Structure 1
Amino acid sequence: MGGGTSVLAFSSSLLAQDAVNGLFLGAIFALLGIGVVLIYKSSGVLNFAHGSMAMFCTYIYFQIDRSFHLPVGVSMLIAVASGVVLGALTYLGIFRRMRNAGLLAKVIGALAVAGFLQGAAAFLWRNATQAKPPMQFSQHVVHIGSVGLDWQHIGTILITIAAGAGVIALVKWTTFGIALRATAQNRMAAKSSRRRSSPCTR
């Protein structure tokens, strides 16, 4: 009887830990999904290159960290800034020109961007697997009952919640968000509106 109780307790603990790990992975995919939805709503393009852009910026982070040995926060900020620049160049150079194109053309264009970024990463970094020791803050574990959470998990979940709340606030209560929704519903009507909305309709 005692052995069965121990096995049941162990299984429950393992299940709870796996659920938390699943929540962590889900938070990462949720962050990617938020970006995909925003791009689709603003440009009408389903950006299949979104994951490739995240991959490319991650390689940039590792390159900066390996070459210049900057603090982690500085390297991350530079990588995020490079993502902003990459996204702007992709939008202005490709996606903006494809807003009125057919669905197939948009899909092919997005896949072409993804292929280009993957090829560029393979050329620059030779498909090398990048490894980095765990960050100091991620080695501290917070225990809630039998479940252990490191700060990497906690930070990712909190950032996802903050990003989701920020997107909701942006879409519902800002001029840009109103323009974004109007553009998503009817681009021509949004263009003819006197509201000087945003780059969404340009």
Structure 2
Amino acid sequence: NASRNLVRAGSEFSSDGVELAGLVSGYVICVRRSLRGFRDTQETELYLPADVRKEADHFGNPPTAIAAAITSWIARQRRMGVFGDLLVRHLESLVTTLVDSQGGCERIQKTPLPFAYVAMIKQLILVYLVTLPLVVCDRFGWWSPLLMAVLSLGMFGMEEASVEIEDPFGTHANCLDLEAFTLTIARDTGQLADRAQRVREAGNIEDLSDIRGAMNET
């Protein structure tokens, strides 16, 4: 929710909220691609300015460059007098939350299961399935092959699940649907920025109407 809160607060107080929404959307998309091993800014052309994409492409970790661009956007609003110190600190804390979340995902991705753990699971499953027929054949007779097939499927399925848990950010069917996550954030942040702009324009129209009404009365 840090991405939505960042755009929600920033766009309400700045007329450049659409730019902020684009930066945040580009950031989450770039994080998704980085978690899958891509060090580029593809798929962000609709969200990021060309200069930001060019700079990010030269970074070893492109999302870091985009996070820096978000901070630069906040700093620019502060220099222009749009944001006060309290709001700047709040927005920066949200940017920090985004970067911390990225770091957490990267730690999950780069921390493999211990080799001894993986090897022991495979060995125990193999020994169990090899020796199990000695127990079930006398009791289940011709049903033993079917029982062994079901048990083997379940045991090897659990072993495969441990492999999926080791890196849940891939593109397999059981991995996290990062495309849906990032596109939802891009949609929501864009809508928040558009709403803030519409409210601001409506407020300007009302203020102009009040001024004209006061002039007519005088």
Q: Which has the larger radius of gyration?
A: 2
Greater relative CO, 1 or 2 (CA 8 Å, sep 6+)? 2
Q: TM-score range by the shorter chain?
A: under 0.3
TM-score normalised by structure 1 residue count = 0.28
